[in-house]
């Protein structure tokens, strides 16, 4: 009989291989979860998310008095996940009318929701204003035009101004957002005029500046560089630092800790902008990525030049390997270890539907449950129905109990919007 063991930092907090040699998540046997809920399935460890939310809040509280942590809901826009983070005292940022609706359904007070986006429609802005969102993050001059037109006479809407500081951190180009040639925000040359316009507005109250230089960042010094570039702009007493902390997708990766990330940001704000500036931060993936494991079932094994282990999901439930060449780990949930080098691939009609290139699995067999960790960020968010594959369910696990919070999509729902 195997000895129970804790797993690496890639897996959700508290995960282990139990005495039966099976992966255990939130006290639940992963093989039993696959049997009960089917595969593919996103399994979310509730305690992991709560612990990370508290770690962010505690780290900021230890270094500054006036702060607010927002969950960047685009990372995992699932109502049940948002409720957990609301319960932990976090605020929320949204980037569309749909995300706003999800956040409101999850119970966030509208005054603690911020609306983002580089292409906000008039309808989305009207929905946000009607809901009473705390801030609209102004991205461009058209935002200002529309908000001023929509805000009733005698009403003032609080806003932040998004600035692109011209800093490109060491991350994938698709998730680098603060460089000199980006679709997001005002450049350093155009920001002063926008600030002047907002300061003169009778309907808009500019409370501070916003920057977000990108995601999956390991070099926390990039945040200071960005703030230094913005130092000559009037900050209005508040700065929103975006998010960006990287996470570990494979055991060999060791990103900065939450405490190191927060220290770098707060210290930079205090040094460059002063000790009394209100600090907002919007972590996304770092709150949820490692909380979740996707479970698959092996359908076929094929040996051509290489060995291909094909499972019942793939690019419909995790598009990141195909978009960003993102790397993941995988294990047979009932036989941890290695021995068989293979490619873990999905069921979709694309040669690029490759979940883990050069995986090492323990004697994979048809019917095995395979687990890939660190899928909480942007897996569910980017889920799709390519090849008519219904979207996967979400299961919350805690203290040995499992709770279905998003059911599996049905075939009928694939055509539910047809009108002819």
- Nearest Cα neighbor of 29 from 18, 37, 42 is 18
In whole angstroms, give the CA distance from residue 112 to residue 283: 15
Which helix (H) or strand (E) element contains residue 197?
helix 191-200
In whole angstroms, give the CA distance from residue 58 to residue 50: 12
Q: What pLDDT score was predicted for residue 41?
A: 98
Tokens of residue 202, six digits = 């009778």
Single out the catalytic residue among 64, 78, 342, 349.
349
For residue 378, the SS3 value is: coil
The torsion angles phi and psi of 402, rounded to 5 degrees, stand at -115, 140
Q: The tokens 């968010």 sit on which residue? A: 381
Question: How many CB atoms are located within 10 Å of the residue 208 CB?
Answer: 21
169, 219 in Cβ contact below 8 A? yes
In whole angstroms, give the CA distance from residue 112 to residue 38: 36
159, 147 in Cβ contact below 8 A? yes
In angstroms, the Cα distances linking 295 to 29, 39, 46, 81 are 12, 6, 17, 18
- Nearest Cα neighbor of 209 from 225, 189, 224, 231 is 231
For this structure, is 349 an active site residue?
yes
In whole angstroms, give the CA distance from residue 232 to residue 188: 10
Beta partners for residue 355, in sequence order: none
Per DSSP, the residues of 60-86 read HHTT-SSEEEEEEGGG---HHHHHHHH
Q: What pLDDT score was predicted for residue 4?
A: 63
Q: What pLDDT score was predicted for residue 171?
A: 46
- Nearest Cα neighbor of 46 from 291, 336, 361, 404 is 291
In whole angstroms, give the CA distance from residue 376 to residue 246: 13
Tokens of residue 301, six digits = 């094994």
In whole angstroms, give the CA distance from residue 288 to residue 296: 20
In whole angstroms, give the CA distance from residue 279 to residue 210: 10
Residues whose CB falls within 8 Å of the CB of residue 288, separated by 6 or more in sequence, listed in order: 49, 52, 75, 76, 81, 376, 377
164, 180 in Cβ contact below 8 A? yes
- Nearest Cα neighbor of 292 from 177, 383, 172 is 383
- Nearest Cα neighbor of 97 from 78, 71, 74, 124 is 124
Tokens of residue 275, six digits = 């000790």
Angle (nearest 5°) at CA 207 between 204 and 213: 110
Strands annotated E in 362-400: 369-373, 394-398
Per-residue pLDDT of the chain (420 residues; tens, 9 = 90+): 344 677 999 999 999 999 999 999 999 999 999 999 999 999 999 999 999 999 999 999 999 999 999 999 999 999 999 999 999 999 999 999 999 999 999 999 999 999 999 999 999 999 999 999 999 999 999 999 999 999 999 999 999 999 998 765 544 454 445 446 678 899 999 999 999 999 999 999 999 999 998 888 999 998 999 999 998 898 899 999 999 999 999 999 999 999 999 999 999 999 999 999 999 999 999 999 999 999 999 999 999 999 999 999 999 999 999 998 999 999 999 999 999 999 999 999 999 999 999 999 999 999 999 999 999 999 999 999 999 999 999 999 999 999 999 999 999 999 999 998
Q: The tokens 């119970």 sit on which residue? A: 107
Cα 333 to chain centroid, rounded: 25
């Amino acid at each position: 009989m195997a000895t129970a063991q804790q797993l690496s930092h890639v897996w959700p907090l508290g995960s282990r291989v139990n005495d039966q040699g099976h992966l255990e998540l939130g006290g639940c046997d992963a093989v039993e979860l696959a049997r009960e809920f089917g595969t593919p399935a996103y399994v979310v460890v509730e305690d992991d998310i709560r612990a990370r939310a508290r770690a962010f809040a505690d780290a900021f509280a230890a270094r500054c008095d006036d702060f607010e942590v927002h969950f960047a809901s685009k990372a995992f826009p699932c109502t049940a996940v948002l409720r957990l983070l609301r319960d932990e005292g976090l605020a929320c940022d949204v980037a569309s009318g749909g995300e706003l609706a999800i956040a409101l359904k999850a119970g966030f007070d509208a005054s603690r929701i911020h609306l983002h986006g580089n292409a906000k429609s008039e309808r989305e802005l009207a929905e946000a204003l009607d809901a009473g969102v705390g801030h609209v993050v102004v991205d461009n001059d058209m935002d200002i035009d529309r908000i001023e037109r929509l805000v009733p006479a005698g009403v003032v809407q609080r806003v932040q101004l998004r600035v692109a500081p011209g800093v490109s951190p060491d991350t994938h180009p698709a998730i680098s957002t603060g460089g000199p040639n980006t679709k997001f925000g005002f450049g350093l040359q155009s920001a002063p005029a926008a600030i002047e316009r907002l300061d003169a507005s009778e309907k808009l109250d500019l409370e501070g500046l916003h920057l977000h230089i990108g995601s999956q960042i390991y070099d926390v010094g990039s945040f200071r560089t960005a703030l230094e570039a913005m130092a000559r702009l009037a900050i209005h007493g508040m700065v929103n630092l975006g998010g960006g902390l990287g996470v570990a997708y494979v055991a060999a990766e060791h990103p900065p800790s939450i405490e190191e990330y927060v220290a770098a940001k707060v210290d930079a704000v205090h040094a460059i902008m002063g000790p009394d500036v209100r600090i907002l931060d919007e972590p996304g993936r770092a709150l949820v990525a490692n909380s979740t494991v996707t479970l698959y079932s092996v359908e076929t094994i094929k040996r051509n030049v290489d060995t291909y282990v094909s499972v019942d999901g793939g690019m419909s439930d995790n598009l990141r390997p195909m978009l960003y060449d993102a790397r993941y780990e995988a294990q047979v949930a009932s036989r941890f270890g290695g021995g068989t080098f293979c490619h873990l691939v999905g069921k979709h009609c694309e040669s690029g539907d490759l979940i883990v290139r050069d995986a090492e699995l323990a004697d994979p067999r048809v019917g095995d449950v395979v687990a890939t960790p660190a899928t909480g960020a942007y897996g569910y968010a980017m889920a799709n129905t390519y090849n008519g594959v219904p979207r996967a369910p979400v299961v919350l696990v805690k203290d040995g109990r499992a709770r279905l919070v998003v059911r599996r999509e049905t075939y009928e729902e694939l055509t539910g919007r047809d009108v002819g």
